[in-house]
Structure 1
Amino acid sequence: MALRSLLADTRPLRNPHFRRLWSANIITVIGAQMTLVAVPAQLYSMTGSSAYVGLSGVFGLVPLLIFGLWGGALADAFDRRKLLIGTVIGIIVTSGLFFVWTAMGNTNVWIVLLTFSAQQAFFAANQPARIAILPELLPNNQLPAANALNMTVVSAGGIAGPLVGGALIPVLGFQWLYFADVFFLLPTLLAVIGLPSLEPEGVEKGKVVGWRSIVEGLVYLAGHKILLASFLVDLVAMIFGLPRALFPQIAHESFGSEMDGGLAFGILYAAIPFGAALGGVFSGWVSRIQRQGLAVILAIVAWGLSMTGFGIAVYFATGAPDQWLWIGAFFLVLGGAADMASAAFRQTMLLTAASDNVRARLQGVFFVVVSGGPRIADIAHGAAAVYVGTAVATGGGGILVVLLMLLCALLVPAFTRYRVEVTPD
């Protein structure tokens, strides 16, 4: 019974709509992660520079900022089912364009970056609606479990995608990974088509969605100190503690991987998602935690310490790359498990605190934070590595996360004290 209580809470899967979305996402996320690996690998292969890989953060960040917020406003004004269908089709089309450009022998970096930017715009508009529908499908006491289940699928796809993509890039080339992504997106399209109409509550018919709608959501958010703090701590964790843009260079220079992919490359990209998936499998405890604010602080401190350990492994890898690769991967796995816990609690705080007619707009802000932070991290780490090297950029960032998190806990004690009542099913 003790082991059973640790395993993932699967009650949300009893809901047929959530179950279909969750099951379809298993396949879709694998393809998405293969593309996520292929784009930086292709950029590094074309240029040999981590700075260009970091530049993809700029091209991803701008559409995330704009369309994450606008997508949230749209999802608070129109049928969320229709919005999900349209954005999934847009993601499919941009994946198809990646295939076409690569099959035609494109060597222009800017075409790759612009296509990536368009795909991120559709993805950003999709996510607020995708998360905002959860309270319409499930009771509140199942939301922590649903968030953990969703993260487990995303993380599991993040394991298979990088491993398969990293291994197949030298064999099949980039174009066939993009081609596979198109087909892997189809199950999710069918799942969202099968949803019922999901009109948000209390919405005026014919309402025009513009900047005023976005500002209304931001004003609502400004009055909630706890939610603002949850965004701040995540930005600290991601901007200073996520060395993703350095993985191609680290895999090649420290762990002996090929210039355009290989096993070490795939392991680095898969390690954090593997840790998150492992944390998701043993996430039964998340539904029983009352002091969620303190849990977030501790989880992010653990994330920072893990990235520090990874930086140490990179530093010592020159003499024994194979041995230190697995040590470094171990620290990344620990970081992934910590990140899963932090995200599950922060997402639950937001879903339960907001009313339905503003929930998607707050999810848009949440998405901008959790997706924009890593893009800023790509830029920051790519630039820092040029001056201090990959090991110092990685390990030093982890130390900064720990120090800044302790500072946040001192400056916003209300967040650390935040708790929720845990009710039985």
Structure 2
Amino acid sequence: MTRKLSAILPDLTPLRTLREFRLLWIQGLVTYFGSSMAMIALPLQIKDLTDSPLAVGAMGAVELVPLIVFGLYGGALADAVDRRKLILLSEAGLGLLAVILLINALLPRPALWPLYVVAAGVSALAGIQRPALDSLIARIVPHAQLTAAAALNALRWQTAAVAGPAAAGVVVAFSGAATAYALTVAGFVASVLMCLRLRPAPPSKEATKPSLRGIAEGARYAWSKPVLLGTYAVDLSAMFFAFPLAIFPFLAEDLDAEWALGLMYGAIPLGSVLISLTSGWASKVRRHGLMVVVGAGGWGLAMAVAGWMPNIWLVLFCLMLAGAGDMLSGLGRSTIWNQTIPEELRGRLAGLEVLSYSVGPQLGQVRAGTVAGWTGTRPAIWSGGVACVVAVGLLAAVLPKLMTYDSETDEDALRRKAQQEGAGTGADAGGEGVAAQDQAPAPGVAL
């Protein structure tokens, strides 16, 4: 029975053996929960001030350019500076932006423009911070535990993303947006205090100053690898066509279920949690490219059906299935990235990854809000889901190397494994996650 359960339940080895990973996991759980409060309150506040799907969707538009620019620059910074300082400063900046949201919400007449300014600022700081966060995982976690670590990190986010939106829906409904923003500020205060306790994470001796040439070097490497290109393209397509979260307040109103808005936001991560809680099998998977394609296609199909459903409970069930598909695809992407990208390019490629899984949702919000303004909420959702399935199918057909990726035979995966083993990454006798150059993980989360 124990053997059967271990094949289903998530692999907890990284949490048991890697102290730094464990610290990162616990800290992130706290800050993700606080940030999810603002994630619900911000679009809902824009809706209350404007009653316009286009205005809500425009939030994605103002976030897009800062995310692209600072995501690429953040990747170069992650390879060139102390990652602890980078994460600490950006986390403090995110906390200050949450304070601005709180002050604005407490005004007798909250203004609209600060909401867009903060959204752009959060996007910029998240673009700077996330590559440093992501690039540390491949360094502090042994090669064989990368899929397990990805599942545990996802489980951390999902736990907060389920509880946070559900709680935020109640908080906003009964106490208003200001209370939700206050809880977000509290989360970032705790995060900054924990960041101060982390070990320094200096760059390698071979590191150079951030430059356009360095960013271009990372982009050329990604362009030369069809498997990496496939992961980026599939995720961008899935999120662009089938990420309608910005118009969920209008869908809840259309279903006469405003009370269920928090549940709608929480249903997607709930589906992801179910995959994470049964992810013991994932550590044995070798065909991670196939996981990427199947998961993204399932995400789109479930969103299409959600757009057709007339009942709130059926919609919630479909959103849960969509979250399960997204988690499956995310596990495959994260594992491929960490298994194949060389250490000296990890920060810059992490910057590209930020664009891959962040720009898509921003564009998706713009698409959903624009189409909803033209055709209505439901057509905007189901048409995007159908387009996602078609796009993922076409990409799978034109990128066969993604579909045939095998972690046991892929040259880049074998090279990265040898590089990591040569650097000595793993767990030492004292249970500390160590690496050849630095070993401090970094907490943090965007609003």
TM-score (normalizing by structure 2): 0.88
Report the 3-state secondary structure (helix = DSSP H, G, I; strand = E; otherwise coil) of the residue aligned with 2:81. coil
Q: 2:138 aligns with which of 131, 135, 138?
A: 135
In structure 2, the residue matched to 1:62 is: 65
Say whether the 8 Å CA contact 2:295–2:329 is kept in structure 1. Answer: yes
Mapping 1:328-343, distance limit 5 Å: 328-343=315-330
Paired amino acid for 2:215:
I
In structure 2, the residue matched to 1:275 is: 271
Q: Specify whether residues 12 and 188 from structure 1 end up closer, same or farther in structure 2 by C-alpha distance, changes over 3 A only.
A: farther
In structure 1, the residue matched to 2:435 is: none
In structure 2, the residue matched to 1:260 is: none
In structure 2, the residue matched to 1:361 is: 348
Instruction: Return the offset for 1:203.
Output: 2.7
Q: Distance in 1 between matches of 2:195 and 2:263?
A: 32
Instruction: Return the offset for 1:271.
Output: 0.6
In structure 1, the residue matched to 2:406 is: 419
Instruction: Return the offset for 1:3.
Output: 2.8
Which is further off, 40-49 or 184-193?
184-193
Q: Distance in 2 between matches of 1:344 and 1:202?
A: 32
Q: Distance in 2 between matches of 1:405 and 1:115?
A: 33
Say whether the 8 Å CA contact 1:21–1:191 is kept in structure 2. Answer: no
Q: Specify whether residues 190 and 421 from structure 1 end up closer, same or farther in structure 2 by C-alpha distance, changes over 3 A only.
A: farther
After superposition, the C-alpha distances for 1:334-386 in whole angstroms (9 at most, x for unaligned) are 11011111111101111221122210111111111101101100000111112
In structure 1, the residue matched to 2:123 is: 120
**2:212 matches 1:211:** yes
**2:385 matches 1:384:** no
After superposition, the C-alpha distances for 1:137-181 in whole angstroms (9 at most, x for unaligned) are 110111111111111111121111111111111221111111111
In structure 1, the residue matched to 2:150 is: 147
Q: Distance in 1 between matches of 2:324 and 2:173?
A: 30
Aligned length: 408
Instruction: Return the offset for 1:187.
Output: 3.5
Q: 1:158 aligns with which of 158, 161, 164?
A: 161
Say whether the 8 Å CA contact 2:288–2:335 is kept in structure 1. Answer: no
Instruction: Return the offset for 1:202.
Output: 4.6
In structure 2, the residue matched to 1:321 is: none
After superposition, the C-alpha distances for 1:162-213 in whole angstroms (9 at most, x for unaligned) are 1111111122111111111111123333343333232333534xx4323222
Instruction: Return the offset for 1:106.
Output: 4.5
Which is further off, 130-139 or 37-46?
130-139
Say whether the 8 Å CA contact 2:101–2:114 is kept in structure 1. Answer: no
Report the 3-state secondary structure (helix = DSSP H, G, I; strand = E; otherwise coil) of the residue aligned with 1:108. coil
5+ residue gaps, structure 2: 410-416, 418-425, 427-447
Say whether the 8 Å CA contact 2:155–2:277 is kept in structure 1. Answer: yes
Say whether the 8 Å CA contact 2:75–2:349 is kept in structure 1. Answer: yes
Say whether the 8 Å CA contact 1:95–1:119 is kept in structure 2. Answer: no
Q: Distance in 1 between matches of 2:260 and 2:370?
A: 22
Instruction: Return the offset for 1:107.
Output: 3.1
In structure 2, the residue matched to 1:98 is: 101
Mapping 1:137-286, distance limit 5 Å: 137-204=140-207, 207-257=208-258, 263-286=259-282
Paired amino acid for 1:284:
G
Q: Distance in 1 between matches of 2:63 and 2:167?
A: 23
Q: Specify whether residues 356 and 192 from structure 1 end up closer, same or farther in structure 2 by C-alpha distance, changes over 3 A only.
A: farther
After superposition, the C-alpha distances for 1:8-30 in whole angstroms (9 at most, x for unaligned) are 11111121111111011111111
In structure 2, the residue matched to 1:11 is: 13
Paired amino acid for 1:279:
I
TM-score (normalizing by structure 1): 0.93
Q: 1:345 aligns with which of 332, 356, 378?
A: 332
Q: Distance in 2 between matches of 1:211 and 1:255?
A: 51
Instruction: Return the offset for 1:63.
Output: 1.4
Paired amino acid for 1:210:
S
Percent identical across equivalent pairs?
A: 33
In structure 2, the residue matched to 1:410 is: 397
Q: Distance in 2 between matches of 1:99 and 1:234?
A: 33
Instruction: Return the offset for 1:300.
Output: 1.2
Instruction: Return the offset for 1:35.
Output: 0.4
Report the 3-state secondary structure (helix = DSSP H, G, I; strand = E; otherwise coil) of the residue aligned with 1:9. coil
Instruction: Return the offset for 1:264.
Output: 1.3
Instruction: Return the offset for 1:407.
Output: 1.1
Paired amino acid for 1:143:
L
Report the 3-state secondary structure (helix = DSSP H, G, I; strand = E; otherwise coil) of the residue aligned with 1:421. coil
Paired amino acid for 1:312:
W
In structure 2, the residue matched to 1:393 is: 380
**2:374 matches 1:374:** no
Paired amino acid for 1:231:
Y
In structure 2, the residue matched to 1:42 is: 45
In structure 1, the residue matched to 2:294 is: 298
Query: What stretches of structure 1 move > 6 A for 4+ residues in a row?
Result: none
Instruction: Return the offset for 1:235.
Output: 0.8
Say whether the 8 Å CA contact 1:286–1:341 is kept in structure 2. Answer: no
Q: 2:25 aligns with which of 4, 9, 22?
A: 22
Q: Distance in 1 between matches of 2:179 and 2:272?
A: 27
Q: Distance in 2 between matches of 1:203 and 1:389?
A: 54
Q: Distance in 1 between matches of 2:356 and 2:20?
A: 27
Q: Distance in 2 between matches of 1:227 and 1:202?
A: 27
Instruction: Return the offset for 1:395.
Output: 1.2
Instruction: Return the offset for 1:131.
Output: 1.1
5+ residue gaps, structure 1: 258-262, 318-323
In structure 2, the residue matched to 1:89 is: 92
